[in-house]
Amino acid sequence: MLTLDLSKLNGFLPQDYLSSREGALREAARMLAEHNGPGGDFTGWVTLPRDYDKEEFARIQAAAKRIQQQSQVLVVIGIGGSYLGARAVVELLHSPNFNLTHKDGPEIYFAGNGLSSDAMLEVIDLVKDKDFSVNVISKSGTTTEPAVAFRIFKALLEEKYGREGARKRIYATTDAHKGALKGLADAEGYEEFVVPDNVGGRYSVLTAVGLLPIAVAGIDIEALMDGAAQAMEELARPGADNPAWQYAAARHALYEGGKKVELLACYEPCFRFFAEWWKQLYGESEGKEGKGLFPASVEYTADLHSMGQYIQEGERLMLETVVQFAPKGEFLIPNDPENVDGLNFLSGKPLSFVAEQAMRAVILAHVDGGVPNVRIQMPALSETVTGYLIYFFEYVCGLSGYLLKVNPFNQPGVEAYKNNMYALLG
């Protein structure tokens, strides 16, 4: 399913960069499999594609169907790990223009992922005259941004449908045992879904956190889990030919060699929020104790005309990872009898051919400019491909955190800001 091309690292890394890390990778893989490394209590995601709660999965599918039938809009309230995965998958498999292009199901709006009054007013305006449901997602149940947004949309629902009617349109995804949202959901009788105790926010896309909104968007969540299960099985095999081991070793060796930034690049605009999900995954997992590659993302070819200059000639602090998908459809470049732009040599050629040559040209230029390149080639986008890629990045992230000797499954820095804000708000 996934082809990893590391040939453009030649010259940037010592010959033995992988063999010298094999012992550490073996130990990292063992800790992930046995759940007993640092943060091992939060490694439930490792076997999730096989061990997920089948009864809850069926309830997710049933709830998604109900929402599709009774609502024109689903408002998804959550922030960070309680939001990015769902948005990433919906946009990757449909489009950033999901609400314009998806005619046979509810529109989806995301709220509670910031504190902008204007953004809040806009979503309220978009949904208030439509039939809508709400999926509020918060593991702790106390995060300020989603809690404030939920107050607002709960009140809107109650005003529109009465308290009883509102209850039937609210779906709460939260901790199984504790937290303010759990208490409220129990008291009001909302349908509840669980963020498993052993899965942290940024690893939760394949739990109800991501799966309910993704299913409402009409995406086949069984196929998504199948793709992840395939990755789980393949990447658990130890050895130097494991692509997760190779990629984790390469990024660690580049980091130790002085690279400080990993740029995730893609030529598909629908990848933008997947990159946002990836940035949280790697930023929160590796960025601690004064260590870690800074995860950044670029969208090509658009960013070649803005960030391209820096990447080519600025500080030599980055490596670049390009994710490439085979095209789903083909578009042929038309002929122009007058050839005004002089581009008739491309007439009749698929646009994807031009994109492929652009990508090759960019890789050559960036490697020449001192930016080592990793290329991840995937088949055309589908649910299984997406599930596979999600698990691949999660697994590499777990290995990478252990190579870096940090706990990849905590986020003390996020808690610091939350605690300060609670104090300032009294």
Contacts with ligand PA5, residue ranges (CB under 6 A) = 79-82, 138-140, 143, 146, 200-202, 284, 411, 414
379/360 Cα distance (integer angstroms):
18
Question: Which 3 state secondary structure label does DSSP give 236?
Answer: coil
Q: How far is the CB of 340 from ligand PA5 (least distance, A)?
A: 51
Nearer to ligand PA5, 202 or 375 (CB): 202
In the bound complex, what is the minimum distance in angstroms from residue 148's beta carbon to ligand PA5?
12
Q: Which tokens in the block code for residue 174?
A: 């939260």
418 noted as active-site residue: yes
CB of 82 to ligand PA5, least distance (A): 4
- 305 catalytic? Reply is yes
The residue among 140 and 400 lying less far from ligand PA5, judged by its C-beta, is 140
Give the number of other CB atoms < 10 A from CB of residue 349.
Answer: 13
Q: Quick one: 32 exposed, middle or buried, by C-beta within 10 A (0-12, 13-18, 19+)?
A: buried
Residues with Cβ within 8 Å of residue 387, at least 6 apart in sequence: 49, 206, 223, 224, 225, 226, 227, 228, 229, 230, 231
Q: How far is the CB of 206 from ligand PA5 (least distance, A)?
A: 14
Q: Which of 91, 145, 268, 284 is catalytic?
A: 284
Question: Active-site residue 284, yes or no?
Answer: yes
Q: Which one, 3 or 116, has the nearer CB to ligand PA5?
A: 116
Secondary structure (DSSP) of 377-394: EE-S--HHHHHHHHHHHH
Task: Give 140 or 321: the residue with its C-beta nearer to ligand PA5.
Answer: 140
The least CB distance from residue 378 to ligand PA5, in Å, is 25
Task: Choose the catalytic residue: 35, 102, 160, 418.
Answer: 418
Orientation angle between helical segments 243-256 and 383-403, nearest 10 degrees:
40
Q: How many alpha carbons fall within 13 Å on the CB side of residue 123?
A: 25
Question: Beta strand 73-77 with 107-111: parallel, antiparallel or unpaired?
Answer: parallel
CA–CA dist 144, 422 (Å, integer): 8
The set of residues, in sequence order, having a beta carbon less than 8 Å from that of 152 and lying 6+ positions away, is 120, 124
Crossing angle (nearest 10°) for helices 221-235 and 383-403: 40
Q: Give the residue with the Cβ less far from ligand PA5, 64 or 79.
A: 79
Residue 138 or residue 384: which is nearer to ligand PA5 going by CB?
A: 138
Q: Assign 43 to helix, strand or coil.
A: strand
Q: Are 253 and 410 in contact (CB under 8 A)?
A: no
Is the bond preceding residue 174 a cis peptide, omega within 30 degrees? Answer: no
Catalytic one of 54, 103, 177, 305: 305
Positions annotated as catalytic residues are 284, 305, 418
